[in-house]
Structure 1
């Protein structure tokens, strides 16, 4: 079977485009993406789709501008919409990839395109597997690429990789650009492609085939794991009772799965193991995992939240007209100050004098609420908003002359 016929049979049998009227092709200009475009263009009427093209000019080579212009001219001749963006800033493979996919999503949103198609093929699967092994990636990231997966913020949008069953030797583009930098070994991917894989294949000619098989087996194993932790998938908060009922092996993967919700949060192996230890032991915990996120564990659950998400309150000396609210009794005179907790703050609660910190610990007040504002009058603590009123406030309950501070969380 000729490569194009194999391609057409693959996409038709898999129903890749049945739900998509418009398709965006990620086009670099290399043999991979040019083959994909040529095959899709040839099959567009059979598949009943319209094509658009997105190209990123990374501005890393002298030929980049010329290639962009030639691609633009070719698409104009074919009547195919052509969208391009120029990468700016310090170059790295990761930054460039993030830039590309952000641009693809932007084009899809503005042009109402529901499918992104990329030219990843079988050789890419092997390279990615070995790269991730070298970098020490976790098991779930060694499962290879999916032929179809959701993409972007639109739940109906998909990323489709129709060439995963093809080897690079099967790609047939007659016109394409050869990136000379692919022969250089500055980047890890090039070293894997040009040096490591050939060396391993010399030891075992079936090395790439074995890696692909191993990736498939890992995928099957991870499917079993995923099916076993479905109840936790996508949860914003993990309940400790349910978590602790699972085996330690599944707890490991539940936490892994939970962390995938935070794309910008990098968790090293040691930090991951520390989190597992903290979750399994008694006690509450609050820790800044990065400049962006906190890890929080209280009596009932654990979760990750964006830093700076402290509870905010609005206060008034007159009742709020709408909605629910709470109140604290305070003296009729004296300067009211609402402030943060300070080291050494002391309170009187139920006749007991103690440090506020000790009160929080003894009463298992959640870590998040321990940062709630204090209400003071003439430097005396009358309460902690949404936590407790002190004896000073309670003693005013039946006083004829007093003030009442009304408060509620900001909407």
Structure 2
């Protein structure tokens, strides 16, 4: 195995030779083989071990084993402990997902703070097959069937071409010491069920199963490349990006018989999962919305509009005086009446005597009304939005400037008649809004 591994490194990862590497080391068979191989290749590396505290004394034994190995081989070793169960409960994650998040977050912290170049893990060919079957059992797109990448940013997986059997043989040939994880024997986890009961059947049917499987993955990756090209081509034709949102032209989209596949490819990375609901948006009434954790997909007339949920750091802002600089792109200044020029939606001029401080900046709400500048009588803000053909996204993003519970300005859109300057105005306040700073 060493010769094959050495050739694999020279062919595909020669750039690692002079890099500073952080090797993820559990103390198990796979990671200890990786460490031994890197020692033989004389790479510059340190060990990184996570104690997830899931197996009590056994977890502590793994930690001590890795630390002792590092000490006896004069290798730098980084170790951390996690309260994995607490983290999984707080974040409503499975134990395995929680452990993965904790592990990679910490690896990246060490990478950054200690100036390492890459994180190296010991994933191998059997892991790839197991992951494929896990994704297949849960339902996935083509992305979920194309395997674990050998490199993903700063994460390197140099053992992917090698099987668990080859790793076991290497351990025996080199008399390596390693720690057995007792949880690997349990069928509690889906991966273990697949490892113990499904993969062995495929290997029995085809003794070259892993090699055949890798060939299949190569074909799938080539087909994925073709899909990516088609997805990008159609995207450029019918999707536009404006002000932080995506607009999908529905009439252009439905010209493609397989439009659902395009929607999936464009939207899955935004965390959506209710795909049948998303596909139904095509024929839904305007205003229908689908939510992911951080995004909203809106049906708005002839478009599907994707935008990020607003994570406001405030519900409202109070401005106590004209000299105050609010935490909002709004600027109040005094000016002469002769300087007034009101041709921009981003600027209004008001009579200071008609304002009552403090002023409030807030989001609009149902029931709001104002007296639109240049018109007689009052109008509901919701009716103004309808007349101006605001999208739900635009409504969601609209702010109100208020004085003594009266709307002064639908910011960036329409001023209120009640606060306008007149011939008798003694002091004029200019209020300017810089939308680009939002």
TM range (shorter): 0.7 to 0.9
Q: What's the CA shift for 1:406?
A: 1.1
Report the equivalent of 2:110: 107
Structure 2 residue corresponding to 1:53, chosen from 47, 55, 74: 47
1:166-177 to 2 correspondences below 5 Å? 166-171=162-167, 172-173=170-171, 174-177=176-179
Partner of residue 216, structure 1 = 218
1:408 to partner: Cα distance? 2.3
What per-residue deviation string (whole Å, max 9, x for no partner) do you get for residues 199-241 of structure 1?
45556666655554443333222111222334769x7643435
The structure 1 residue matched to 2:411, chosen from 378, 385, 388, is 385
Q: Contact (CA 8 Å) 1:26, 1:117: kept in 2 or not?
A: yes
C-alpha spacing 1:277/1:358, structure 2 compared with 1 (3 Å):
farther
Q: Residue 249 of structure 1: which of 250, 258, 265 is its match? A: 258
**Structure 1's 377 and 33: CA in aligned 2 closer, same or farther, altered over 3 A?**
closer
Find the residue that maps to 1:63 and give its secondary structure.
helix
Q: Is the 8 A contact 1:297 1:303 kept in 2?
A: no
1:51 CA drift (Å): 1.2
SS at match of 1:165: coil
Task: Report matched runs for 1:198-209 at 5 Å.
Answer: 198-199=200-201, 201=203
Distance in 1 of aligned mates of 2:17 and 2:204: 44
Residues 23, 115 of structure 1: 8 Å contact kept: yes
Aligned partners of 1:20 and 1:115 also within 8 Å: no
Deviation at 1:257, TM superposition (A): 4.3
Note the C-alpha offset of 1:122: 0.8
Distance in 1 of aligned mates of 2:225 and 2:363? 48
Query: Partners of 1:305 and 1:144 in 2: how far apart?
Result: 30
2:157 maps to which residue?
161
**Structure 2 Cα separation of the partners of residues 387 and 281 of structure 1:** 29
TM-score, normalisation: structure 2: 0.75
User: Out of 336, 348, 364, which is 1:341 matched to?
Assistant: 364
Compute the RMSD of aligned alpha carbons: 3.5
Q: 1:335 to 1:285 in 2, by over 3 A?
A: farther
Q: What is the correspondence of 1:306-385 to structure 2 with a 5 Å cutoff? A: 306-309=309-312, 312-314=328-330, 316=332, 318=334, 326-330=347-351, 332-333=353-354, 335=356, 338=360, 339-349=362-372, 351=375, 354-371=379-396, 372-376=398-402, 380-385=406-411
Q: Distance between the aligned counterparts of 2:257 and 2:412, measured in 1?
A: 36
| Alignment map for 1:134-283 (pairs within 5 Å) | 134-150=137-153, 158-171=154-167, 172-173=170-171, 174-199=176-201, 201=203, 211-230=213-232, 237-241=245-249, 244=252, 247=256, 249=258, 252-253=261-262, 255-260=264-269, 262=270, 265=271, 267-268=272-273, 271-278=274-281, 283=286
Q: Distance in 2 between matches of 1:104 and 1:379?
A: 52
SS of the equivalent of 1:226 reads helix
Q: What TM-score does the superposition give when structure 1 sets the normalisation length?
A: 0.80
Structure 1, unmatched stretches of 5+, are 151-157
**Structure 2 unmatched ranges of 5 or more:** 89-94, 315-327, 336-343
Deviations 1:287-320 (A, max 9, x none): 6533x5444676887333243248945353636x
1:170–1:289 Cα change, 3 Å: closer
Identify the residue that residue 323 of structure 2 maps to in structure 1.
Answer: none
Aligned position for 2:324: none
| Partner Cα distance (1:391, 1:278) in 2 | 40
**2 CA distance for matches of 1:41 and 1:388?**
70
Q: Distance in 2 between matches of 1:17 and 1:398?
A: 73
Q: Does 2:409 align with 1:406? A: no
Q: Which residue of 2 aligns with 1:289?
A: 292
Determine the C-alpha separation between the residues in 1 that align with 2:146 and 2:101.
21
Structure 1 range deviating more: 368-377 or 87-96: 368-377
